[in-house]
Structure 1
């Protein structure tokens, strides 16, 4: 059964998206990682309108284990890619609840700008983030975070942190 969330639930879902971005900006990667469901995925498609991340090449297609490995690498004081250390900032439009799927969760759409700086270099990306959130043990969890970059099919530089 598809139903529309009430205003309090909608605000809680929207607050979750804002909180997730803040955790990334503050480099609280462990708390961010804990927002993912056990079967959670972080996906950045390689081409516009890509339908499948498993059977097609993607910029990133990572489960919780791969995300944890990336987080541990970022914490390593000798990580060459983090000399000097990267910093990031998310600027989000207000998230919109696109679909309410009852027990299957909620889907949100959020246009964004993302900047990542390291030393004298700054990268800027824009696109749309799509969250699939599910209730798990009384808390919201990310089943899938899909980042559709505006220029996903361009030759892109290496992004060190998480969008």
Structure 2
């Protein structure tokens, strides 16, 4: 068994590499490249509680593909006062496991810890659920849905002026 197989139970190594790349691009503020990972029907959601329904409950973030594009455009301006100077970030993804698989998509759950430094260290932690579409061979895998369940959801959280 390889180290990738032990770290990512049942997850295809190409999908694991895709998820690690998605995390790295967000950490490095390579927003346009991060946006390119999304498919046209993408949905990025950070609920305020684990059993939230986005149709009736408040969310920290609930972005469809058009809103993802808009968020990235704002981040790329460099004029977000809540990110001046920009945060330095590094995240760890661990305990990757396949939750669901069908003909062209796979849903992977994992735990994450994100270290953000901007004047002081802030630690973000939680569970992230990625739904990834195989995509065509030329484009590679595409992100269909990303749901981030924060450990401290529902409580006070610092500003979310970056990508989780």
CA distance in 2, matches of 1:101, 1:32: 25
Matching residue of 2:124: 125
Going from structure 1 to structure 2, the CA distance change for 1:157 and 1:8 (only over 3 Å counts) comes to: closer
Identify unmatched segments of 5+ residues in structure 1: 1-6
State the aligned residue count.
Answer: 154
Deviations 1:27-64 (A, max 9, x none): 111111011110101100111222x3233211110112
Deviations 1:67-110 (A, max 9, x none): 2222222222433222212221111114211211123x100011
List aligned pairs for 1:66-145, cutoff 5 A: 66-103=67-104, 105-118=105-118, 120-138=119-137, 139-145=140-146
Instruction: Give me the TM-score of the superposition, normalised by structure 1.
Output: 0.86
Instruction: Give me the TM-score of the superposition, normalised by structure 2.
Output: 0.85
Which contiguous aligned blocks of 4+ residues in structure 1 show a shift greater than 4 angstroms?
A: none
Identify unmatched segments of 5+ residues in structure 2: 1-8
Is contact 2:27-2:91 (8 Å) kept?
Answer: yes
Going from structure 1 to structure 2, the CA distance change for 1:26 and 1:54 (only over 3 Å counts) comes to: same
Matching residue of 1:152: 153
Matching residue of 2:6: none
Matching residue of 2:65: 64
